[in-house]
Structure 1
Amino acid sequence: MPIKMYETLFLLDPTKVSADADGVKQQLHTLIERSGGTIEISRPWDYNHKLTYPIAKSKKGSFHIVYYKFESTKQAELEREFALQEGLILRQLTSKLDPKWQDLILEVAREDHGNGFALRGMQDEAAVQTDPSAIGGEPIPPGLNDDIPPPRDGGGGGPRRGRREMAEKPD
């Protein structure tokens, strides 16, 4: 029976988390441990995050991330247990960690201590532009391509025009 390392990101009902955060955390742990899992790391990810669209009539959600070792043949059963927790878990996303990255991921998760390292990393990554012509979309530091003018037609985001319309368009 192969034991794998998993990461589950939970989107939780923020009213239940604000009322009893430790109780909610314990409830998540109980679900995993009752099925035979071993919790490695468990911590809040983000409280009262505004959602893009309402989920179960909730406009906000609290994120919690859990890393655990679990028997891979029982993962589908655990996912069903998560789905049955409708009043608590709004959504969840489970990923199996690649063994070659497992130690590094767990080290970062242990050292983060709620400082938002991962969130800051995503914000920094969003600030870096990517060059679509580069192989693999290599990142380009901001300001490097400032001397390149934008396309004349606005980037091609509009409707497609035929030859006649292109010829009639004044420059």
Structure 2
Amino acid sequence: MRSGRESGKPADDAWSSPVALTVNGTTHDLALDNRTTLLDALRERLGLTGSKKGCDHGQCGSCTVLVDGRRVKSCLILAVTLDGHAVVTVEGLAGPDELSPLQAAFVAHDAFQCGYCTPGQLCSARGMLDEVARDWPSAVTGDLTAPMELTDAEVRERMSGNLCRCAAYPNIVAAVREAAASR
């Protein structure tokens, strides 16, 4: 393994392409079958199993990751289309021995039950909070320390692409609102 870069095994057939994916700050040079989804590349080639394969149709959101800071359902996007792009998975939201404020809020509000959807919920919430922060009135005035005060309805609407079969929604909403207010 080279410093900061990892080489993946080449694909088995001629229908592959070289791809340089920067995932959680580390660049991975891979040769992937052109039909490989980002989710499969993350889980099967890079061993990053935090993102879950729920429906494999982009309907549940358990595979949500951030690509260049935007929320993406990784089961719907081909990995070869992301050559040179930056991907953040749930494993990259905080350091190995610490929780991000968002993760800490999820723990404090018991915003999970079985936990299967939690990685996607966390990545989606992180992306959503970043999207809101770009448009928040405090960003216009330059006061980036002003808290973002989102209503329950706003959080539910903005997080509507992520399903929780355990119905932990009230706790997820509370956790996201706390993280928004503490930004």
TM-score in terms of structure 1 length: 0.32
TM-score normalised by the chain length of structure 2: 0.30
Give the strand-richer structure, 1 or 2: 1
Query: Which structure has the higher relative contact order (CA within 8 Å, separation 6+)?
Result: 1
Q: Which has the larger radius of gyration?
A: 1
